[in-house]
Amino acid sequence: RQILEATGNVQLDRDKDRVTAAFLRWSVGGKTYLARRGVRALFSAYRLEAEEVGRDGETLWAKEVRRYEDPREGLVLSASAVKGRLEGDQVGEMEVSGPLEGTFRGAKGESVRVTGDRGIFSRDRGTVVVSGNARAVQSDRIVTAESLVLHLDTRRLEALGNPQLVFTLPQKDKP
Determine contact, residues 150/157, Cβ cutoff 8 Å.
yes
Output the CA torsion sign for 110, 111, 117, 119.
positive
Determine contact, residues 99/79, Cβ cutoff 8 Å.
yes
> Residue 174: its pLDDT value, please?
58
Tell me the average pLDDT of the chain. 91
- End-to-end alpha carbon distance in the chain: 79
68-93: average pLDDT: 92
Q: Residue 81 pLDDT > 70, yes or no? A: yes
Read off the pLDDT of residues 91-147 as tens digits, 9 standing for 90 and up. 999 999 989 999 988 878 888 999 999 999 999 999 999 999 999 998 888 999 999
At residue 1 the predicted structure's pLDDT band, cuts being 50, 70 and 90, is: confident
> Residue 76: its pLDDT value, please?
94
